[in-house]
Structure 1
Amino acid sequence: MRADAQKNYNHLLAVARDVVTEHGADAPMREIARRAGVGLATLLRHFPTREALFEALLCTNMDALTQKADELETSTSADEALLSWFRELVAFAQSYRGVVAMMAAAHTNPDSALYASCAAVHSAGARLLLRAQGEGTARADMNGDDLFALTTALGWAVDQPSFAPRADHLVHLITSAILTNRSSNDARKAT
């Protein structure tokens, strides 16, 4: 991509990030174009669908979550790694209202622009869970699909205004149910 085209693309993404943070997954494409100072056709030329725009926005975050899981696998105990990654994923879900529904739908749809990123996040979580299970610190009766489902369910809950103030408590409840070797106080301190 030419330098000027890359600059325009980055500008559109920066503006889109702000608008999506304000309005959530239903952010109007026209509002993004207006704030970016371009016509809707220009925005649609770069991002022909809302999902394509979200894929571009979310790919960076999901890649960072996958990278974080890789780092945690080698630098932290298995249960601490799982806790830390779980909290990061929930924080990510909170950063863009409505993203959890998009992730949940893309998770099983190979035709989705978000599929590859969701699959990488799912796989990273499953690896962290397997490691914790191998050390006997996580429930043996769950798998990566269960972890992804719990994460998206929690992400949906904390996306709701009535539950958002209880996000830390809800994370604590879920992680306490996943991890087997922590007292209630230990899990609360770690989250």
Structure 2
Amino acid sequence: MPEGQRADARRNYARILAVAEQEVAAHGPEASLEQIARIAGVGSATVRRHFPSRQALLEAVSEKRIEALRLRAEDLAGEQNSRDALLTWLSEVVAYCVSARGLAAALAYDEDPTQNGCAAALEEAGRDLLARAARDGAVAPDVTVADLLSLIVGIVLISQYAPDPEARADRLFQLAVAGLSPQR
């Protein structure tokens, strides 16, 4: 929320964001902006003034989760096994995306990837983990965090309607990590 706003504008922003978090959790990224406005007790123009696009709303709703994932990447950076550290973090990104229904959609917006705050923050957070794993030969050197986030978004979006989305997303993630070759 921009600094210097009037007290009532700050209250409206906080109320809209709280309602949006609940509505996105309940209805996913397509939660009705009109319903959010109605529950928050403001007009839809007020919602659009604070969040000029659905992407802006999803990014605001996801901000705390993204920060938690950033901090977790920092924690894992000190782990001895760089591959395990990276895979642990990526697995936690999958779990967060499944539990926070709007997060995968927020990451998927790509009209202008440089303007996607969620994706940019996660790319930055995972950059050191991936670079270290690549240096250690645990990951192919041409893999990017953007590649991995795209894979995660696809897994989460395809799993969201499964009877057990968490289990389905985890299975697909583990399959992607292991590859198709039989275990030796």
The TM-score with structure 2 as length reference comes to 0.79
How far does residue 101 in structure 1 lie from its aligned partner after superposition?
A: 3.9
Partner of 1:159: 160
Q: Which amino acid aligns with 2:170?
A: D
Are the counterparts in 2 of residues 126 and 147 from structure 1 also a CA contact under 8 Å? Answer: no
Partner of 1:180: none
Partner of 2:72: 68
Q: Of residues 35, 46, 50 in structure 2, which corresponds to 1:42?
A: 46
How far does residue 158 in structure 1 lie from its aligned partner after superposition?
A: 2.1
Rounded to whole Å, the distance in 1 between the matches of 2:102 and 2:21 is 13
Are the counterparts in 1 of residues 58 and 102 from structure 2 also a CA contact under 8 Å? Answer: no
Q: Deviations over 1:76-129 (max 9, x none)?
A: 53122212211221122213435434423338533x3xx233122123323212
Partner of 1:142: 143
Rounded to whole Å, the distance in 2 between the matches of 1:44 and 1:121 is 26
Rounded to whole Å, the distance in 1 between the matches of 2:138 and 2:126 is 15
Partner of 2:173: 171
Stretch of structure 1 that moved more, 149-158 or 83-92: 149-158
Partner of 2:23: 19
Residue 173 of structure 1 aligns to a residue whose secondary structure is helix
Are the counterparts in 1 of residues 155 and 173 from structure 2 also a CA contact under 8 Å? Answer: yes
Compared CA separation, residues 76 and 42, structure 1 to 2 (3 A): farther
Residue ranges of structure 1 left out of the alignment (5+ in a row): 178-183, 185-191
Residue ranges of structure 2 left out of the alignment (5+ in a row): none
Paired residue total: 176
Compared CA separation, residues 38 and 63, structure 1 to 2 (3 A): same
The TM-score with structure 1 as length reference comes to 0.76
Q: Which amino acid aligns with 1:71?
A: D
Q: Of residues 98, 118, 137 in structure 2, which corresponds to 1:94?
A: 98
The 5 A counterparts of 1:70-149 are: 70-75=74-79, 77-97=81-101, 99-106=103-110, 108-110=112-114, 112=115, 115-140=116-141, 142-149=143-150
Stretch of structure 1 that moved more, 49-58 or 23-32: 49-58
Residue 106 of structure 1 aligns to a residue whose secondary structure is coil
Are the counterparts in 2 of residues 98 and 159 from structure 1 also a CA contact under 8 Å? Answer: no
Q: Which amino acid aligns with 1:91?
A: A
Q: Which amino acid aligns with 1:81?
A: A
Are the counterparts in 2 of residues 19 and 27 from structure 1 also a CA contact under 8 Å? Answer: yes
How far does residue 173 in structure 1 lie from its aligned partner after superposition?
A: 1.6
Compared CA separation, residues 139 and 48, structure 1 to 2 (3 A): closer
Q: Which amino acid aligns with 1:120?
A: A
Q: Deviations over 1:12-71 (max 9, x none)?
A: 111111001111111111111111122222222222322221121122222322222122
Q: Of residues 1, 13, 21 in structure 2, which corresponds to 1:9?
A: 13
